């Protein structure tokens, strides 16, 4: 009589059906929106910091690319930037642009409007602190002056391009960016391994960065750093080889001001990101895959705030 094998069956590599992915996404967003707020803020810090690191890599990749075909150079920069979202996804960090998809459990009435908006606010605050911290560290490290100030020149030209969009253009670019980011998160859910998840985010993120769409959290890093480089770098930076070769001076970047950074970019981009994530991805997939299932299951009975006995309120505190 043979002995039954005790070797476990290999894990399935089959990609879940879209409806299953939608359920998984909603459960993940519910968990994020109802976690203790202290942990929510901590995970938001790294969400901002890791996206900032992705932008650091992107800037580094763009030095000396002036002689390359513009499309190729931008795609290279976009792939480099995707490292940031890969770190966010694998680490479980909280990124505001992805957080907009808590609209899914909100539509299913599993969280209240207050819970959703509180999560968004905490995520924005934590992302901002994390992004600013990396920007300050990069500045103090002297990175903008490296390679004859070529690194800082990329920061300045990138920042100038961002703050010279019209308000409406920034808003629409924000919609498009978070459409791509949230689709990247959607695809990454199907991944079974770290490699799967990293590869899943690379394409959509390279698409949005290479095309010039606008991401609010990335800009929480780039715009403050651009202001620091413009206003706080000394004569040595402005005499760098790359700056001299480009024939530019500080006066050429007069458009880089705090007012332009905030009103002409961060505000409209953030609002656009909400539309791109909450409406074009979260509400769309909820309507396509979750609405009928939720209605049939009768789970639209009461908001989480009215279900104190279930412990949901405790998880959100």
**Residue 305: its pLDDT value, please?**
43
pLDDT tens digits, 187-228: 999 988 999 999 999 999 999 999 999 999 999 999 999 999
Q: Which domains does the chain have, with CATH numbers?
A: 18-293 (1.20.1080.10)
Report phi then psi at 27, rounded to 5.
-65, -40
Work out the average pLDDT over 50-67. 94
Q: Count other C-beta atoms under 10 Å from residue 198's C-beta.
A: 18
Question: Lowest-pLDDT range, 65-79, 111-125, 148-162, 228-242?
Answer: 65-79
- The answer to whether the Cα torsion of 89, 280, 214, 96 is positive or negative is negative
CB 277 within 8 A of CB 182: yes
Distance CA(262)–CA(267), nearest Å, equals: 6
Predicted confidence band of residue 312 (pLDDT cuts 50, 70, 90): very low
């Amino acid at each position: 009589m043979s002995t039954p094998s005790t070797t476990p069956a290999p894990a399935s590599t089959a990609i879940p059906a879209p409806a299953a992915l939608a359920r998984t996404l909603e459960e993940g967003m519910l968990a994020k929106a109802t976690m203790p707020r202290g942990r929510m803020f901590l995970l938001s810090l790294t969400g901002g910091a890791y996206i900032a690191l992705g932008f650091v890599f992107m800037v580094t990749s763009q030095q000396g690319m002036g002689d390359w075909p513009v499309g190729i150079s931008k795609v290279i920069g976009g792939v480099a930037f995707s490292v940031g979202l890969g770190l966010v996804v694998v680490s479980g960090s909280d990124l505001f642009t992805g957080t907009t998809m808590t609209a899914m459990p909100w539509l299913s009435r599993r969280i209240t409007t207050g819970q959703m908006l509180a999560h968004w606010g905490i995520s924005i605050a934590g992302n901002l602190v994390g992004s600013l911290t990396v920007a300050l560290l990069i500045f103090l490290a002297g990175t903008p002056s490296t390679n004859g100030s070529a690194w800082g020149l990329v920061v300045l030209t990138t920042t100038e391009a961002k703050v010279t969009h019209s308000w409406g253009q920034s808003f629409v670019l924000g919609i498009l960016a978070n459409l791509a980011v949230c689709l990247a998160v959607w695809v990454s859910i199907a991944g079974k391994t770290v490699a799967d998840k990293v590869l899943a985010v690379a394409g959509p993120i390279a698409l949005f960065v290479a095309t010039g769409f606008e991401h609010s959290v990335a800009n929480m890093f780039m715009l403050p750093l651009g202001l620091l480089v413009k206003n706080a770098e000394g004569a040595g930076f402005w005499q760098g080889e790359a700056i001299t070769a480009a024939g530019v001076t500080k006066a050429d970047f007069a458009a880089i001001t705090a007012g332009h950074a905030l009103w002409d970019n961060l505000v409209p981009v953030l609002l656009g990101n909400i539309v791109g994530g909450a409406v074009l991805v979260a509400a769309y997939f909820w309507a396509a895959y979750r609405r009928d299932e939720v209605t049939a299951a009768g789970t639209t009975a009461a908001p989480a705030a009215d279900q104190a006995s279930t412990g949901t309120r405790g998880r959100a505190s």
